[in-house]
């Protein structure tokens, strides 16, 4: 498994092209699996299940993502982890649902490093936390699989401008809001600190 960290903001279209190229290389046996950690400039992405009324205010560019899921926001202060992994090599029997479960476990395990209890919720994709007497989303998941090789991945709110989520109904869920590590902990969390937690947790979940 290779790891790549981009220090500068990565344009969304550039990321899509890079993922496509890497998946092709993995499929050809020319390159290894990759976890790519990055941030995007402010933008909204529409998954394959996105509903037009859920785009409330197109204040940022909107991209068709090709991944599963609905509308989500990406922007500075949010750690994106794109995972390009050959499920035929990683699993005895390729299973997308098991892979998504693994991504959920990965985020939950990484959040433990910060004393945060991330949880699943039936019928709601992503990872949730209880705070101020309610539930808020701290991480989103959206994947695509090609030749049994995964694309896209997860996004974790570290210190994004949470008001940017107001332009959409995130993942089509109106009843609950979003939160971040900064909001929960009351301090700035360096990306490098989260990256280290993600890399450590990855080895516990994926072999």
68: phi then psi, degrees, rounded to nearest 5 = -75, 165
Whose tokens are 């941030």? That residue is 39
Of the candidates 141, 171, 184, 191, the residue annotated as catalytic is: 171
Query: Can you list the alpha helix ranges (DSSP code H) found in the chain?
Result: 12-27, 87-90, 96-112, 181-185, 191-205
In the block, which residue shows the tokens 């922007």? 75
Which run of H or of E encompasses 79? strand 78-84
* Distance spanning both ends of the chain, measured CA to CA: 10
H/E element, 154: strand 149-157
Is residue 101 annotated as part of the catalytic site, yes or no?
Answer: no
Checking 187-194 for CB contacts under 8 A at 24+ apart, the result is 188/159, 189/114, 189/158, 189/159, 191/37, 191/39, 191/79, 191/158, 194/79, 194/110, 194/156, 194/158
Instruction: State whether residue 22 is helix, strand or coil.
Output: helix
DSSP label of 86: B
- Would you please indicate which residues are annotated as catalytic (active-site) residues? 171
């Amino acid at each position: 498994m290779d790891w790549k960290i981009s220090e500068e903001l990565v344009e969304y279209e550039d990321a899509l092209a890079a993922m496509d190229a890497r998946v092709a290389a993995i499929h050809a046996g020319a390159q290894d699996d990759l976890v790519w950690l990055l941030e995007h400039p402010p933008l909204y992405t529409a998954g394959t299940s996105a509903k037009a009324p859920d785009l409330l205010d197109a204040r940022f560019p909107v991209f068709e993502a090709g991944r599963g899921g609905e509308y989500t926001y990406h922007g500075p202060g949010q750690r994106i982890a794109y995972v390009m992994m050959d499920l035929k090599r990683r699993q005895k029997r390729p299973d997308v649902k098991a892979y998504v479960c693994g991504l959920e476990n990965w985020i939950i395990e990484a959040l433990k490093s910060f004393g945060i209890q991330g949880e699943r919720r039936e019928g709601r994709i992503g990872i949730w936390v209880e705070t101020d007497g309610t539930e808020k989303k701290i991480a989103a998941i959206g994947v695509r699989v090609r030749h049994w090789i995964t694309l896209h991945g997860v996004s974790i709110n570290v210190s994004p401008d949470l008001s940017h989520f107001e332009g959409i109904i995130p993942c089509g869920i109106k009843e609950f809001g979003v939160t971040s590590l900064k909001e929960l902990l009351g301090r700035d969390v360096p990306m490098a600190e989260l990256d280290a937690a993600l890399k450590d947790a990855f080895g516990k979940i994926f072999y």
